[in-house]
């Protein structure tokens, strides 16, 4: 369960900027930027640090997203893991353990931040207090969950020239996950089959 939660934090997820008042312009701009990508594929580089800044983990891999609510996140070996959602269920497959964990997808944006990139962004202001800061071709959005039971305390989404560039998530313990997106492609046709998962016949399957 802990591994599943932390991978969700990483998938979804994401240096805190000075807070500004939440305003309609920030919400409208973020909604527009997110909704531009009906599908998205990219390579990613992910770095996780503890509250003191000590590196805990560094990984890389590939992701695919499709609206509404479909995503596939594959972390390369030697720490290989696969996270897949068809919009209703989420499968986490650990090849080393030959174990699959299955959960119902929580549609609240604060519980599944991947939905910020693949889900219904029209409700984003219902879930977050939003501020933003712009410099040149880069605009950063700071999202603070309104729900008290969110998986994270602070989320930054950074766009460069209108394309998602990186994310940073900070949880209650101060642990931060930084994700840099590379070779981003938007609105390319994607095979729907990649957003479903059939556990291997000999895998240990845990449904929660």
Confidence (pLDDT) at 18: 34
Residue 69's beta-bridge partner residues?
Answer: none
Confidence (pLDDT) at 163: 95
| CA contacts within 13 A on the Cβ side of 101 | 16
162-188 average pLDDT score: 94
Does residue 207 surpass a pLDDT of 90?
yes
Q: Cα dihedral sign for 163, 77, 115, 10?
A: negative
**Quick one: tokens of 75?**
């972390």
Domain boundaries, given as residue ranges, for the chain: 2-182
What whole-number distance in Å separates Cα of residue 11 and Cα of residue 29?
A: 23
Tens digits of residue pLDDT in 67-88:
888 999 999 999 999 999 998 9
**Quick one: tokens of 88?**
């209703």
For residue 32, whether the previous peptide bond is cis, meaning omega lies within 30 degrees of 0, is no
pLDDT category, 12, cuts 50, 70, 90? very low
Identity of the highest mean pLDDT range in 1-10, 26-35, 102-111, 177-186: 177-186
Does residue 159 surpass a pLDDT of 90?
yes
Confidence (pLDDT) at 113: 61
Is the pTM higher than 0.75? The answer reads yes
196-200 average pLDDT score: 95
CATH architecture of structural domain 2-182: Clam (2.50)
């Amino acid at each position: 369960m802990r591994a599943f939660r932390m991978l969700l934090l990483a998938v979804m997820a994401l240096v805190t900027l000075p807070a500004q008042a939440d305003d309609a312009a920030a919400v409208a701009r973020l909604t527009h930027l997110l909704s531009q990508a009906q599908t998205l594929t990219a390579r990613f580089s992910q770095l996780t640090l503890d509250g003191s800044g000590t590196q805990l983990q560094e990984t890389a891999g590939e992701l695919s997203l499709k609206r509404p609510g479909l995503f596939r996140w594959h972390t390369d070996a030697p720490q290989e893991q696969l996270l897949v959602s068809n919009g209703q269920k989420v499968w986490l497959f650990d090849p080393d353990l030959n174990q699959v964990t299955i959960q119902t997808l929580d549609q609240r944006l604060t519980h599944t931040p991947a939905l910020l990139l693949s889900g219904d962004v029209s409700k984003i202001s219902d879930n977050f207090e939003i501020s933003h800061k712009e410099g040149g071709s880069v605009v950063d959005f700071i999202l603070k969950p309104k729900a008290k039971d969110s998986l994270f305390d602070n989320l930054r989404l950074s766009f460069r020239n209108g394309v998602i560039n990186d994310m940073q998530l900070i949880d209650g313990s101060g642990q931060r996950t930084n994700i840099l997106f590379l070779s981003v492609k938007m609105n390319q046709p994607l095979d729907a089959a990649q957003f479903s998962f059939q556990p291997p016949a000999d895998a240990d399957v845990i449904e929660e």
